[in-house]
Copies of this chain bind each other. A is one copy, B any other.
Amino acid sequence: MIDLAILGLLTEQELHGYELKKRLGELLSSRTAVSFGSLYPALARLEKQGCVKAVEERTTVPGAPMSGSLAGELAAFRARVRETGLGKATGRGKKVYGITERGRERLLELLSDPDVSDDRAFTLRVAFAPLLPESARLELFERRRTELLSRRDDLRRREHGRSRTHAYLGALLDRDAENLAHDLAWLDRLIDAERQAAQEQELPT
């Protein structure tokens, strides 16, 4: 889930962790946003796997023209030494990540996963749908459609099992059924639009 989000966002542009989190809060609802406590470890993991790489660290001395102060530069140098290695304990500084070829492959893998039962993950996958080839995109949508249909069957089976239950349970069942129907309609519109776009591309003008 979080890997998908990170890799997807990094295909658009290189980002550092903090900004990544902000972008995620915009992309999904802020309620769905991930926390630092899972974001940074995830980034570290992805880096170890070779899916992303740090492309820049800001704290490293830029031009450093100013000064005239030897002490200042020296301090900066020491700080840098502490960061880059050795110390290891206090390596701070803005780390800008970029996606690697390996990461792109991994992302496609995640986007093509046949399992479409995770709602949040599906939302993310739609958000990054442009990264998929036309056919895979349609397959994703169709699979999701099948999933929703099976949920509807489930729901109907439950509806039959209902009997002398109170009004609130009935209301909940109604809500679920309506939500499902609604979601299906939305998906169908998406699929229609997709097919139409595909046709228009086949016979240009």
Contact = CB atoms under 8 A, between A and B. Distances in A.
Interface residues of A, number: 33
B176 A29 contact: yes
A26 B159 CA distance: 10
B176 A127 contact: no
A172 B126 contact: yes
A182 interface: yes
Contacts of A179: 179, 182-183
A91 to B, nearest CB: 33
A151 interface: yes
A30 interface: yes
Interface stretch (A55-63, A94-102, A104-112, A161-169): A161-169
Given A171-B189, A178-B182, 19 more contacts: A26-B158, A27-B169, A29-B151, A29-B155, A29-B158, A29-B176, A30-B154, A31-B151, A31-B154, A123-B172, A126-B171, A127-B172, A130-B166, A171-B186, A171-B190, A174-B186, A175-B183, A179-B182, A179-B183
Contacts of A183: 175, 179
B29 A154 contact: yes
